[in-house]
Amino acid sequence: MRSIVIGSRKSQLALVQTYWVQAELQKLHPERTFSIATMTTQGDNILDVALAKIGDKGLFTKELELAMLAGTTDLAVHSLKDLPTKLPDGLMLAAITERENPADALVVNAKHQDKQLHTLPEGAVVGTSSLRRLAQLRHHFPHLTFKDVRGNLHTRLRKLDDGEYDALILAVAGLQRLNMGDRIQQIIPPEISLHAVGQGALGIECRSSDQEVIDLLSGLIHYPTQQRCLAERAFLRELEGGCQVPIGVSSQVSETSLTLSGLVATLDGKTLIKDQLTGDIAQPEAIGQELARKLKQQGAQAILEQITQEFRSVP
């Protein structure tokens, strides 16, 4: 019986997520052996440039995918928000696990421990590497100063605690998975910041021809999360957006329906185009595609073209 090799990035959060998947697979298939192979991705190596300026949608996934295609690993565990909506030929998204809270969180320097976003003083420096977060927060809190921040979670928090930033915007899920939920000062409501596509969920990718691994992964699928994330990813795919574009989402499901909210924003946060759509939970991608078309008709297309042009002109 073949041993299954799981590919993972080397960051602490990535490994926590991969160890969890390994343990769940071992429980489901105690007769099998699951090992882990770690590697560094381009996004891990380039830390002195804003994500949006690098311009590659596979920053945290490409090396993991090449290993699967080469046959040195059998599957890869991703934070789903890092996984491009268009996968390389020969690979597929085989499982989406149950979602943690997908919201964004405010984390503050100790001197602001009595503050929330709306009470931070004018000019307070808030760190984020996400254009999505940046655009929405600029819209609601124009009195704040925003500064790019890169590095793993511990590196970012050290910069915060050393006083380089007054606050950071981070994913609730990442903090909780690293048992750092006590650092969360405020869970930011969707009225202020819609979250990233797939945020809070893990996506497990494998070769589309490897039915043995596909079958092994089927027990990890969480249907409500899967349908929500498929709708969100279809929305993003239809908009052709990556980390260069401020696109946010929120989704809810009942037994039979799925409601998707979506947003496209200008980089300065002055214009937010937002709408929502409810449809059949069994047709998530149709919901995402239709909502994207609605936003395009309301002006999102022009925003996306303008942003693309701006980044093409940056040396």
Q: Domain boundaries in the chain?
A: 1-99+202-221, 104-187, 223-315
Grouping H, G, I as helix, E, B as strand and the rest as coil, residue 188 is coil
Q: What kind of architecture, by CATH, is found in domain 223-315?
A: 2-Layer Sandwich (3.30)
pLDDT in tens, 172-183: 999 999 999 999
**Superfamily of domain 1-99+202-221, CATH level 4:** Periplasmic binding protein-like II (3.40.190.10)
What's the alpha-carbon Rg for the chain, to the nearest Å? 19
How far is 79 from 42, CA to CA, in rounded Å? 15
Q: Give the model's pLDDT for residue 53.
A: 47
How far is 224 from 200, CA to CA, in rounded Å? 13
Q: Give the model's pLDDT for residue 49.
A: 47
Given a cut of 80, whether residue 57 has pLDDT beyond it is no
Mean pLDDT along residues 218-237: 98
CB 83 within 8 A of CB 205: yes
Residues linked to residue 126 through DSSP beta bridges, in sequence order: 146, 167
Q: Give the model's pLDDT for residue 121.
A: 97
Lowest-pLDDT range, 109-118, 145-154, 231-240?
A: 145-154
Q: Give the model's pLDDT for residue 43.
A: 52
Given a cut of 60, whether residue 47 has pLDDT beyond it is no
Domains 1-99+202-221 and 104-187 share a fold: yes
Q: Give the model's pLDDT for residue 152.
A: 83
197 Cβ partners below 8 Å, 6+ apart? 80, 81, 85, 229, 232, 233, 235, 236, 247, 249
Q: Give the model's pLDDT for residue 60.
A: 66
Grouping H, G, I as helix, E, B as strand and the rest as coil, residue 264 is strand
- CA dist 9 → 38, 154, 206, 267, 297 (Å): 5, 16, 15, 30, 39
pTM for the predicted model, two decimal places: 0.91
Given a cut of 90, whether residue 308 has pLDDT beyond it is no
Lowest-pLDDT range, 1-15, 44-58, 228-242, 247-261?
A: 44-58
Q: Give the model's pLDDT for residue 51.
A: 47
Q: Give the model's pLDDT for residue 151.
A: 81
Residues linked to residue 202 through DSSP beta bridges, in sequence order: 79
pLDDT band at 245 (very low <50, low <70, confident <90, very high): confident
Given a cut of 70, whether residue 41 has pLDDT beyond it is no
pLDDT in tens, 98-138: 999 999 999 999 999 999 999 999 999 999 989 999 999 99
CA atoms within 13 A on the CB side of 38: 12
How far is 166 from 260, CA to CA, in rounded Å? 33
How far is 163 from 269, CA to CA, in rounded Å? 26
Total residue length of the chain: 315
How far is 62 from 92, CA to CA, in rounded Å? 14
Just give the CATH number of 104-187: 3.40.190.10
More confident residue, 60 or 109: 109
pLDDT band at 59 (very low <50, low <70, confident <90, very high): low
Given a cut of 70, whether residue 202 has pLDDT beyond it is yes
Tokens 């059998």, residue? 74
Q: Give the model's pLDDT for residue 305.
A: 87
CA atoms within 13 A on the CB side of 188: 25
pLDDT band at 255 (very low <50, low <70, confident <90, very high): very high
Q: Active-site residue numbers?
A: 82
**CA angle at residue 100 from 62 to 260, to 5 degrees?**
85
Enter the DSSP assignment of 98. Answer: P
Q: Give the model's pLDDT for residue 40.
A: 76
How far is 234 from 240, CA to CA, in rounded Å? 10
Average pLDDT, rounded, for the chain:
92
**CA angle at residue 282 from 276 to 284, to 5 degrees?**
40
